[in-house]
Structure 1
Amino acid sequence: MKKPFVAKDQLEAIAAQYPTPFHIYDEAGIRENARRLKAAFAWNPGFREYFAVKATPTPAILKLLHEEGCGCDCSSLAELLMSEKCGIRGEDIMFSSNNTPAEEYQLADKLGAVINLDDITHVEFLEQSIGHIPEKVCCRYNPGGVFTLGETREGFQVMDNPGDAKYGMTRAQIADAYQMLKAKGTKEFGLHAFLASNTLSNEYFPSLAKVLFQLAVDLKEETGCHITFIDLSGGVGVPYLPDAPENDIAAIGEGVRKVYEEVLVPAGMGDVTLCCELGRFMLAPYGHLVTRAVHEKHIYKEYIGVDACACNLMRPAMYGSYHHITVCGKENEPCDHKYDVVGGLCENNDKFAIDRMLPKINRGDLLVIHDTGAHGFSMGYNYNGKLRSAELLLKEDGSVELIRRAETVKDYFSTLVW
């Protein structure tokens, strides 16, 4: 059973100062998780996590993770600027984007970021944009087809379709891109791929690593390029369902180590450093969306209306995603009421839960929506003139810090021309 990382009494006190809805993050949990990841890959000197800024683009979170040795994986101008303002520059930034404007490549180059090219045509475009080709460049690979992992010991099947994804280069293109880059002065090459999302299997990263490690060996032989790093990207998931299996990052790190020693070391590539760009794994379980029940409705179904909506957490409306809900103070009461928990948007998919069995909910009850620390606040929007919420950080000492104030109507109107 999922339990909130902050108790009801403290949440009520917080809500008295910062009205619901708000997102709150657990500093202690984030730091502990970052240290587990670092320990899992300590066998690879130079290993680095580039936190996927898109998941939680909040300076306090980026700074916290940077203190734990993490860099930033950026995909836009604003994310690059935010990283710079947080004091994160140079090779602490991986710039992985697609359909990239010239000015974004220019800023990435100015900051000294490692640039990860999404397409072979971007080699020439990058050179035109910044006036040269960097000495260190990464290329994104798309193997095409369908990636399957099959049944694992956790009983979870991984299946995704890279062939339908807009990202990355084909096998032939990436070899050509390496040759082009080498001819233009690149000395250090990186390799990157992302094959599946939110996997709940300790076998995913080792399976992906085997694909990339073998490709790296082949590319070295074909092109003579010096491949110095491999980016395993993201895709390590979190258990949104309360009874879903949880990934063991130590086992994942060990599985990658075995493949590294089987494939890279015999090929004389035992100096290759690894990195990843985890977002969901790093943050999702350590964030809650806290909202209050404001209405109840009894028609053909039973509805609980809350003061949050899909503008605060889009995933259930957009993907039909499950997010666990705790009714604060009623954790030990029977879940004997069936509700749709809904927001106030003029869209019928504005639902955090459908036919969810929960304890009796009364107006004024606080609800914690779990696992919103990644791709929660960051996907917010302003439909119906709804305003983005505050973000709070539960500090290790138990205090609470405001790390992003709530939007106001003045903010909403600030870009209008009357």
Structure 2
Amino acid sequence: MVKFVVEQAGGMSSVHLYGAQTVNNKGHLEIGGMDSVLLADTYGTPLIVYDTGLFRSRARAFKRTFSDEGVPAQVAYASKAFSCMAIYRLAEEEGLSLDVVSGGELYTAIRAGFPAERIHFHGNNKSEEELRMAFEEGVGCIVADNFLEISMIGRLARGSSRRMDVLIRVTPGIEAHTHDYITTGQEDSKFGFDLNNGQADEALRRLSEIPEIRVLGLHCHIGSQIFDTEAFGLAAESLIGKMDSWRRERGFVCSVLNLGGGFGIRYTEEDHPLEPEEYVKSMIRTVKRTTEEASYPLPEIWIEPGRSLVGDAGTTLYRAGSEKTVPGVRHYLAVDGGMSDNIRPALYGARYSAALANRMDEPHDARYTIAGKCCESGDKLIEEALLPGVREGDLVAVFCTGAYGYAMASNYNRLPRPAVVFVENGEHRLAIRRETYEDLVRLDAEPATVGKEGIR
């Protein structure tokens, strides 16, 4: 990330840019070599723009670090952050594995041509239908999350012609420093088997009784938007301790240790994440040290970056609309999207930064509350954004919207979901078309007529 600085009376004003973002001689924001004003004119707004070059560089950095350290590994894109056929194809091009959490994500991946043997199927309440799809498509691994699921896996495995690899998801009792809604590794969690009360041991026992199943090892995910390596190290030590006890007590050796994802990104100046490589290097050091101390064979390390691959690769472009000043309180600026395409600020107070994409070289020194157009008082994207004096039709860029924006988008107020475009090296291509009003009613049943005889 770089800082773009503009002069203003009495000082300087700065706007942070991400990845391949620059400002051209027109004062327009460029993303991946494309003028954002041209993109908005071509595809309309709201528009989510992904710098796929940044995705590629992040993916390569994760993979290269494992390779340089001589550690066998899989890097799986945690696609709940943003799922569509185009991003799955990009992940496949970069040699990533894929983490899916539903039948819909699995179906999308298969339709995109993603190799099924590199797909890991997650989820805390997989249906038998979803698990059957996983067996039929030949996914590479199922991450078992609960005892009901183990029973279903057993029934399906006995009727299948292929052996299924399984990881056991556990909660190691590690509480990462993150928001309560996105913390998943503590003991009080809906995910996984408790590592410390015997649940994980019982899960291994039940899975070991199914000849058609091969247990690879343990999986954990301790949370999201994590800025330090300490929690990952504690989780690794805890899981390796359990793995070592299984070796001593059962003669079972885990071949895979999956430490999940959750690597933080920079949304605002207050965020201070590490580079992707630093998270990986710290994990490797801890795993090597802990396994050496226990004389335990070094397992293959799997990780699942999601937000850190797509988060700051995405920028949402909006058109500025109405304004309202509440004297002494705030100045509202409404845009043509909002919580329907980015619910994170309303859901758990997520913070973002913004700029005027068509006037980047002007002082960003006026304070606005950027509000959406949904009929909710809480539909605010940014509480205090610094922008130039905004005019109707200006192009507002909200940065780092690539993770859990479109993925959590809705048709609230019957608003169509935005288009998504990929840009790289001065070229652009449509990834997801903009929904139309016709799309909104496509699944509606035809209106019924109500008469004396009832509905017909």
User: TM-score surpassing 0.5?
Assistant: yes
Residue 309, structure 1, aligned to residue 338, structure 2: yes
| 1:60 equivalent in alignment to 2:89 | no
> In the TM superposition, what whole-angstrom CA distance separates every residue of 1:1-60 from its partner, at most 9, and x where no partner exists?
421526527111111111111111011111111111111222354311111111110211
* Contact residue 58 and residue 276 of structure 2 kept, 8 A: no
Q: 1:278 to 1:361 in 2, by over 3 A?
A: same
> Which secondary structure state, in structure 1, belongs to the residue aligned with residue 311 of structure 2?
helix
1:36 aligns with 2:61: yes
1:3 maps to which of 6, 17, 30:
17
Pair 1:44–1:375, CA change in 2 (3 A): farther
What SS is found at the alignment partner of 2:287?
A: helix
1:196 to partner: Cα distance: 2.4
Instruction: Give me the identity figure in percent.
Output: 26
Q: 2:199 aligns with which of 128, 153, 173?
A: 173
**Equivalent residue for 1:155?**
none
2-structure distance, mates of 1:378, 1:364: 27
Paired residue for 1:154? none
The amino acid across from 1:362 in the alignment is R
Pick which of 20-29 and 349-358 moved more.
349-358
Q: Please tell me whether the aligned partners of residues 183 and 224 of structure 2 are also in contact (alpha carbons under 8 angstroms).
A: no
* Equivalent residue number for residue 97 of structure 2: 71
In the alignment, residue 75 of structure 1 is paired with which amino acid?
V
Show the counterpart of 1:401: 429
Tell me whether 1:46 sits opposite 2:36 in the alignment: no
State the one-letter code of the partner of 1:142: T
Which amino acid is 1:70 matched to? L
Matched, 1:358 2:358: no
Separation in 2, partners of 1:401, 1:160: 36
Cα distance, 1:102–1:130 mapped onto 2, change above 3 Å: farther
Q: In structure 1, what is the Cα distance between the partners aligned to 2:372 and 2:280?
A: 40
In structure 2, C-alpha distance between the alignment counterparts of 1:143 and 1:334, rounded to whole Å: 48
Matches for 1:318-329 after TM superposition, within 5 Å: 318-329=347-358
Deviations 1:95-154 (A, max 9, x none): 01111110111111122220001113321122234545845211110134x62579xxxx
Choose from 366, 372, 376 the match for 2:405. 376
Aligned residues: 409
Q: Contact 2:171–2:192 at 8 Å: present in 1 too?
A: yes
> What CA distance in whole angstroms lies between the structure 1 residues aligned with 2:434 and 2:63?
33
The TM-score with structure 2 as length reference comes to: 0.84
Distance 2:22 2:87 in 1: 18
Counterpart of 1:198, as a letter, is: Q
Q: Single out whichever of 249-258 and 52-61 deviates more from structure 2.
A: 249-258
Structure with higher Rg: it is 2
TM-score, normalised on structure 1?
0.92
The answer for the alignment partner of 1:209 in structure 2 is 236
- Measured against aligned partners, the alpha-carbon deviations of 1:56-95 in whole angstroms (never above 9, x if no partner) come to 1021111112111111101111111111122223330000
Q: Within 2, Cα distance between the matches of 1:76 and 1:160?
A: 18
- Alignment-derived partner of residue 124 in structure 2: 98
State the Cα distance separating 1:299 from its structure 2 match: 3.4
Q: For 2:368 and 2:75, locate their aligned partners in 1 and report how far apart those are by CA, in whole Å.
A: 40
Query: Residue 187 of structure 1 contacts residue 225 of structure 1 at CA under 8 Å; is this kept in 2?
Result: no
Structure 2 partner of 1:123: 150
Seen in structure 2, the aligned counterparts of structure 1 residues 216 and 91 have a Cα distance that, compared at 3 Å, is farther
Query: How many angstroms does 1:164 deviate by?
Result: 2.7
Equivalent residue, structure 2, for 1:141: 170
1:287 corresponds to: 314
Letter in 2 for 1:57: S
CA–CA distance in structure 1, aligned partners of residues 154 and 436 of structure 2: 43
Contact 2:266 2:272 in 1 (8 A): yes
Distance 1:75 1:330, change over 3 A: same
Which moved further from structure 2: 24-33 or 354-363?
Answer: 354-363
Q: Is the 8 A contact 1:36 1:249 kept in 2?
A: yes
Which letter maps to 1:405? R
2:207–2:215 contact (8 Å) kept in structure 1: no
Q: For 2:183 and 2:78, how far apart are their aligned partners in 1?
A: 22
For structure 1, the residue ranges without an aligned partner over 5 or more in a row are 151-157
Matched-pair contact (CA < 8 Å) for 2:82–2:404:
yes
**SS of the residue 2:401 aligns to:** coil
Structure 2 CA distance for partners of 1:161 and 1:93, relative to 1, 3 Å: closer
Gap change, CA 1:136 and 1:266, over 3 Å in 2: farther
Match of 2:376 in 1: 347
Unaligned runs of 5+ in 2: 4-15, 30-34, 447-456
Find the partner of 1:164 among 188, 197, 202.
188
Q: Of 194, 217, 238, which residue of structure 1 is paired with 2:221?
A: 194
> Within 2, Cα distance between the matches of 1:15 and 1:329?
10
SS at match of 2:391: coil
Deviation at 1:359, TM superposition (A): 2.5
CA distance in 2, matches of 1:202, 1:161: 14
Equivalent-residue separation in structure 1 for 2:434 and 2:374 (angstroms): 18
Q: Cα distance, 1:163 vs. partner?
A: 2.8
> Could you tell me how far 1:296 is from its partner in structure 2?
1.6
CA distance in 1, matches of 2:345, 2:108: 28
RMSD over aligned Cα atoms: 2.2
1:192-235 deviation per Cα after TM superposition (whole angstroms, max 9, x unaligned): 11112210114343332222222222222233223111111111
**Is contact 2:47–2:316 with CA below 8 Å preserved after alignment?**
yes
Following the alignment from structure 2 to structure 1, what is the Cα–Cα distance between the partners of residues 308 and 423?
19
Pairwise CA distance, 1:271? 4.2
Could you tell me which residue of structure 2 aligns to residue 19 of structure 1?
A: 44
